[in-house]
Amino acid sequence: MKIIFGMIARQLTDPGPIVAFLSNAARHQRKIERVIVSVSGEIDPTAVRAIEAHAPLEVIDLKRPVARMAELVELGLTEAEASALFAHPVFERSGRMPYGPNRNGVILAAIKAGGDVLFFADSDVSPLLLSGTPHQHFFEEADVFGSHLAALTEPGLPMVGVTTSDYSGYYIIPPMSFEGLDIFLEGLQKEGALDFVRHSGKHHALTFDAGAARQPFSTDKILGGNVAMRLEIFRACLPFFSTAYNFEGTWWLTRGEDTLLGKSLAADGKWKVVDIDLRLFHDTFDNFPEVPDVLSDEGIRDRFYTTCLGWIGRNPILNALDGKDAVAISNRQIECLSRSVDAAAAYFGDDRFLKLPEAAKAALDQLPAALEAYDTLQRLWHKAVEGAWLLRQVEGAEAEAEAGGAKL
C-alpha cells in the first residue's frame, strides 16, 4: 500500500517534526511515497530541501490563492464551488485556515498523487511513546506506520477504514482546581474530563502509552494528529469538517474536525475505526517535561483560552449534526459558563475568561452559517473526490506510458 504522510502547518520552517517521522519509517523499512504539507504561512527553502532529502515533498501554499484555485478547478470544480469548499473569510483576514478544509485539501492531493493510505500527524506530535510514571518517565520508539498498517489490513467486515489513537503527554486541560470547575467544564462540553482534571495533582495531567497492555478497540473518536486513513473511504464518506466563528470582531477556529469524520464513518456502516492504542507523544505545551502551570505560565493560559473558544465554537454544530437539540444544549452551556466564569477568571487571574458566555452566544447565533457550510460539503465533496480520482488515473496512465516509452 502506498503511504502518503500529511501535515497541516502554520509555517514550514523547521523540518524536524516531519523528518522524525520519515526517519522512523526508514528504520522500520516502511516506504513513504510522498509528503504533503498544507502551509498557511512562511515556507523556508532550507526546510523544504531537508525534507526532500528523505522523501518527495508537495507543498500546498495557501498564500498563493490563484494557483490554489487553479489546482481545485483542475478537479472539475467551478471557481464558485472551489471557493465554497476551501475559502473562508478567516484566512483572508487572519492568515489561518479552518482545520477541516485545510486537512481536506491534503486528502485530495493524496488521492491525486496515487496514495492508498494517508497518515496525518500534527507538528507537535512525535513518533515516540511516553512511558513510565509521572515521577520517572522515559521515551520508547515504535513502528508507527507498521502498527497502523497492520490494523488497516486486518480481514473482516466491516473493513477497517481508519486507525487512530490518543496521545501520551500532557492533557490539553492543564491542572486546575476552583469552585465550580464541574459547571465550567460542562459549559465547555468537556464534563467527561472532570475526574481526570480533579486528580491531576496525582498524575500531573500526564497520560502514558500502555505498552504491553495495549488493547485496540473499535471507536468513532478520531484524533487528527495520529490517524491513518484508507483514501478510498472518501468516495463514500464525508471528510473532516470544521469552520470558524466571529466573536468581538475576531475569527476563531473551531475544533472537532476529526469528531465529525468519526461519526460520518459510523453512519456509513461499511467501514470501522480502530483505536490501535499506540499513544504517540504530544508536546502539548511545547515545554515538556515541565508540569504545565496555568497560573504562572502566560503561554499555557493563552493556549487554554484559545482552546476553550475552539470548543465553544464547535459545540453547536457538533450537537446539531448529532441529532440533538443544539439550541437547548447551548443555552444550558451558556448558563453554566455564566455561573462559573467569575471563579475561573479569578483563579486564572485573567479576565478574558469572563467573555466565554458571550462567545457561546456568538457561536450559537452563527450556527446557521455552520450548517450551511456543512450542506456545501455534503453537496460538493463527492464531485471533488471523483475529480481527484480521475486525475490520479490519468496521471498514472501517463506515467506508465512514459516508463514504457523509456524502455524502447
Instruction: Count CB atoms within 10 A of the CB of residue 300.
Output: 20
Burial of 132 (0-12, 13-18, 19+ CB in 10 A): middle
Cα 212 from chain centre: 27
What pLDDT shows up at residue 267?
80
DSSP string, 265-278: HHHHSSEEEEE---
Q: Is the peptide bond before 98 cis (omega within 30 degrees of 0)?
A: no
- The per-residue pLDDT for 337 is 98
Q: pTM value?
A: 0.96
Inter-residue contact 276 to 216 (CB < 8 Å): yes
- DSSP result, 79-145: HHHHHHHH--HHHHHHS---HHHHHHHHHHHHHHTT-SEEEEE-TTEEEEEEEEETTEEEEEE--HH
Q: Which residue has the cell 502509552?
A: 209
Each of the 408 residues of the chain gets a pLDDT tens digit; together they read: 999 999 999 999 999 999 999 999 999 999 999 999 999 999 999 999 999 999 999 999 999 999 999 999 999 999 999 999 998 888 888 889 999 999 999 999 999 999 999 999 999 999 999 999 999 999 999 999 999 999 999 998 899 999 999 999 999 999 999 999 999 999 999 999 999 999 998 999 999 999 999 999 999 999 999 999 999 999 999 999 999 999 999 999 999 899 888 888 878 788 999 999 999 999 999 999 999 999 999 999 999 999 999 999 999 999 999 999 999 999 999 999 999 999 999 999 999 999 999 999 999 999 999 999 999 999 999 999 999 999 999 887 777 677 775 443
95: left (phi over 0), alpha (psi -120 to 50) or beta: left
Q: Is the distance from CB of 170 to CB of 288 less than 8 angstroms?
A: yes
pLDDT at position 405, please? 56
CB-CB contact of 318 with 197 (8 Å): no
Q: Say what the pLDDT of residue 265 is.
A: 84
Dist CA 296 CA 342 (whole Å) = 19
**Do residues 326 and 206 lie in contact, with contact meaning Cβ atoms separated by under 8 Å?**
no
Using CB atoms within 10 A of its CB, is residue 135 exposed (0-12), middle (13-18) or buried (19+)?
A: exposed
For residue 90, what pLDDT is reported?
A: 87
Q: Are 292 and 283 in contact (CB under 8 A)?
A: no
Look-up of cell digits 463514500: 236
Instruction: Return d(Cα 306, Cα 308) in angstroms, integer.
Output: 5
The DSSP call for residue 43 is B
